């Protein structure tokens, strides 16, 4: 009974993650890479290994993020790893699909494979942009929390600013920090 509860927990977590923008993007990457794989296999297309590798990596990162494994294993920075995965996959898929498209003559399945590969390359580029914005937002949130939580030079707590050599920080009522430089 416990194994079925655990399976339902991971299934519901995966479905919840697939409803997010990042999860939907990763699912789209997997589907497009699978379509590229089918079309290239049917037409003996070139560079067939790359969509396989990217499909597997997208599935691995989808499982890691949907099951919350990124919060359990801190040894790897999962967001940066996912960002670089998408950043590398996008130009490689775009370049290889254009090279293969140039060598395709009248084979409709090969043409469809390259069109799907172009779409996957664009989707990987969007995923890289989305991943970078997530990393940037989390980094900004973590620096805001550490700046507000510290006391000492350059930080302020409870309306009392620390100053040293004419440089200090003050916090207004909205929670933003204003740097003050005095001569």
The per-residue pLDDT for 155 is 45
Nearest to 147 by CA among 131, 127, 170: 170
The rounded distance, in Å, linking the Cα atoms of 42 and 109 is 7
Band (87; pLDDT cuts 50, 70, 90): very high
The per-residue pLDDT for 150 is 53
Whole-prediction pTM = 0.71
Q: Are 40 and 48 in contact (CB under 8 A)?
A: yes
The per-residue pLDDT for 105 is 80
Band (143; pLDDT cuts 50, 70, 90): confident
* Category of 159 on φ-ψ map: left (φ > 0), alpha (ψ -120 to 50) or beta: left
The predicted-structure confidence for 28-79, as pLDDT tens digits, reads as follows 999 999 999 999 999 887 888 999 999 999 999 999 999 988 889 888 889 9
**Is the four-CA dihedral 25, 27, 30, 36 of positive or negative sign?**
negative
Q: What is the mean pLDDT of residues 90-110?
A: 89
pLDDT tops 80 at residue 146: no
The per-residue pLDDT for 65 is 92
Phi, psi of 176 (to 5 degrees): -90, 150
pLDDT tops 90 at residue 115: yes
The per-residue pLDDT for 159 is 45
């Amino acid at each position: 009974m416990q194994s079925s509860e655990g399976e339902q927990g991971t299934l519901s977590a995966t479905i919840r993650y697939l409803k997010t923008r990042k999860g939907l993007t990763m699912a789209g990457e997997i589907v497009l890479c699978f379509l590229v794989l089918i079309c290239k296999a049917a037409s003996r297309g070139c560079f067939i290994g790359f969509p396989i590798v990217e499909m597997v990596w997208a599935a691995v990162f989808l499982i890691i993020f949907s099951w919350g494994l990124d919060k359990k294993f801190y040894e790897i920075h999962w967001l940066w790893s996912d960002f670089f995965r998408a950043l590398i996959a996008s130009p490689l898929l775009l370049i290889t699909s254009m090279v293969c498209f140039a060598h395709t003559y009248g084979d409709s399945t090969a043409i469809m494979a390259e069109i799907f590969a172009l779409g996957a390359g664009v989707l990987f580029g969007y995923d890289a942009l989305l991943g970078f914005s997530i990393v940037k937002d989390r980094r900004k949130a973590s620096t805001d929390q550490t700046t507000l939580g510290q006391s000492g030079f350059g930080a302020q707590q409870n309306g009392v600013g620390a100053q040293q050599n004419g440089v200090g920080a003050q916090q207004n009522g909205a929670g933003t920090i204003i740097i003050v430089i005095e001569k």
